[in-house]
Amino acid sequence: MINFFKNLADLKNDLNLNRNTGTFAWFLHRVTGLLLTFYIFMHLVVLGSEFWKGPGSFNDLMGRFEQPLFKFLEFGLIGVISFHLINGLRIILSDFLLLTRAHKKIFWIGAVIFIAVMIITSIIFFCPYCK
């Protein structure tokens, strides 16, 4: 257990010592990955069990998800997915197409795509006049 916390302290040290685009992306990729794995379980257990029970409980649950709180959480989810997806594609491009030398440039191209995706998502989610 002590070793585990020491390893976490080392992580903080590593992040401080290597303040590069790659470290930043690596760290965020891991955090978003863990969040998404947690989300898959929630998604599977909550939606699965209500879908199993049938129309009544499923439609009830979906009705509750229309609340503003869930809209914001969903917006955050799209953000987490977009980052993980775009950065993941950057990793695959670097690995499979031998573009390691261009990985920083690809990161910033990805950042622009990420911002574009989030602007489009916020328009779809929160603009009442756009429907």
Task: Kindly tell me which residue out of 33, 75, 99, 113 binds another protein, with binding defined by CB under 8 A.
Answer: 33
Rounded Cα distance, 51 and 25, in Å? 37
Length of the chain: 131
Does position 95 interact with another protein (CB under 8 A)? The reply is: yes
Q: How far is the CB of 111 from another protein (least distance, A)?
A: 18
Q: Binding residues for another protein, how many (CB under 8 A)?
A: 33
Residues near another protein (CB under 8 A) are: 3-4, 7-8, 11, 30, 33-34, 36-37, 40-41, 44-45, 48, 51-52, 54-55, 58-59, 62, 65, 78, 81, 85, 88-89, 91-92, 95-96, 124
